Amino acid sequence: MPETNQNDLVSKIVALCKRRGIIFQNSEIYGGIQGFYDYGPVGSLMKMNWKNLWWRDNVTRRRDVVGIDGTIITHPKVWEASGHIKNFADALVECKSCHKRFRPDLIDNATKCPECGGQFTPARKYNILFHTEIGVIEGEKMPAYLRGEACQTIYLDFKNIVDSTRVKIPFGVAQIGKAFRNEITPKNFLYRTREFEQWDIQYFVHPSEMDKWYEYWKQNRMDWYQKLFNNTKNLRFRQHASDELAFYAKKAFDIEYQAPWGWAEMEGIHWRSDYDLTQHSKFSGQDLSYNDPVTHEKYLPWITETSGGADRSFFFMLLDAYHEDILENGETRVWLQVKPSIAAYKMCIIPLAANKPELVAKAETIYQTLNAKYSIDWDDSSNIGKKYRRADEIGTPWCLVVDYQSLDDDTVTIRDRDTMKQIRVNIGDISSWLEKQLQSV
């Protein structure tokens, strides 16, 4: 996309998201609140599709992975056991002149304020867990936290899952759920927010098989993203240096995306050994070990974790899909090259003239037929050019137009988002035509 300056890209996406009902700043009528975003009518459909694809490929289509849906608030001891109360802290410096606050690691440990050149205060550590209270009577309230990462619930439910299902090691537990971090510097739209969703898999294995499964998941997750992004050269692994590794990790890799501001983490593939189950055994006093039904060996399973951001990856997917073309008439065409499986609507049904009842009635019949199976859009608003522009901007792969010829020969025009080419299809063949197109993604 040579005509789009990469630095403008984030602001273009933000504007497009607002213009087309994909994502809004939360509480905008009150001036907004930093680090919180809402998905609009189009965006909520797209995000649901995005999460459904993850769930389909990691849970539904696998016999060795089961899913859970855990709560946001847990027993506060969970966060002592996990180390979050002690260690979930970011350093913060404040500029003595303009009073802006920064995380030193996110400004390359600069010694002067990047905004005004002022002096910094000494760095102080702030815990980024959100606090709340359980109970209503003063003096009896129990302090609690909104979960800082979603995955803890999987460890808490581990014993119940083993006891209530037929899972046998190796097996995984998957979850998509909200996490909350009181980030010091939320920025870059959905990249760093204070409320977001994570998609996690904790894959439990025998310690002797850890290496094999770690490598398996590392590649599996990269393959998955490569399938859904257009520019796969913008995806890479970054191996953590030895001084970045937790003491229990033999290795760690991030899947990174080349964002307009540089390579940025999208998902982490973590070697967690038996750290989490050991901690929760210790703090809860419960035995969380696994009894192998065949060998009768009793042990604490080791874990490979894949932990990604559903919103952060959604944002990267939008950056990857954004196109601007200059048309022959000099107009700029903006279009999102999202996979049809992610698009909010698979097709937009358009009667050429909204004031011609025969055209509207025919279009309505097609709409009703397709809508029973797929998410289908309907547009009888303005002129045809504007309808195409809107469909392109939200990534609708095909527009179907019912025109005057349709009344004579029962055919319609189908226009392709990516090529803008049009074909004529018999009305009776539309359903199977669409089904065929959607098989490939």
Give the separation between CA 109 and CA 140, rounded to whole angstroms: 43
Nearer to ligand ATP by Cβ, of 252 and 347: the residue is 252
Q: Answer yes or no whether residue 129 interacts with ligand ATP by CB under 6 A.
A: no
Q: Which helix (H) or strand (E) holds 116?
A: none
Task: Report how many residues bind ligand ATP under the rule CB under 6 A.
Answer: 16
Residues 184-213 close enough to bind ligand ATP by CB under 6 A? 192-193, 196, 198
Residues 231-290 close enough to bind ligand ATP by CB under 6 A? 265-268
Residues 26-85 close enough to bind ligand ATP by CB under 6 A? none
Nearer to ligand ATP by Cβ, of 152 and 193: the residue is 193
Contact 241, 208 (CB under 8 A): no
3-class state of residue 355 by DSSP: coil
- Shortest CB 172 distance to ligand ATP, Å: 16
Segment lying near ligand ATP (by CB under 6 A), choices 213-221, 235-243, 302-310, 364-372? 302-310
Nearer to ligand ATP by Cβ, of 198 and 273: the residue is 198
Instruction: Name the nearest CA neighbour of 174 among 203, 212, 215.
Output: 203
- Shortest CB 304 distance to ligand ATP, Å: 14
Nearer to ligand ATP by Cβ, of 234 and 437: the residue is 234
Nearer to ligand ATP by Cβ, of 193 and 396: the residue is 193
Q: What are the CA-CA distances from residue 43 to residues 32, 39, 317, 337 (Å)?
A: 19, 5, 13, 15
Residues 132-161 close enough to bind ligand ATP by CB under 6 A? 149
Give the separation between CA 145 and CA 131, rounded to whole angstroms: 5
Which residue is it, tokens 């649901």?
Answer: 48
Nearer to ligand ATP by Cβ, of 67 and 118: the residue is 67
- Shortest CB 196 distance to ligand ATP, Å: 4
Residues whose CB is less than 8 angstroms from the CB of residue 14 and which lie 6 or more positions away in sequence, other chains included: 23, 189
With CB atoms as reference, the residue minimizing the distance to ligand ATP is 309
Contact 367, 427 (CB under 8 A): no
Annotate each residue in 382-411 with x if it binds ligand ATP (CB under 6 A) or - if it does not, as one string.
Answer: ------------------------------
Give the separation between CA 291 and CA 167, rounded to whole angstroms: 12
One-letter amino acid identity for 75? H
Instruction: Name the nearest CA neighbour of 265 among 212, 306, 206.
Output: 306
Contact 32, 38 (CB under 8 A): no
- Shortest CB 142 distance to ligand ATP, Å: 26
Contact 379, 391 (CB under 8 A): yes
- Shortest CB 411 distance to ligand ATP, Å: 46
Chain residues that interact with ligand ATP, rule: CB under 6 A = 149, 181, 183, 192-193, 196, 198, 265-268, 307-309, 311-312
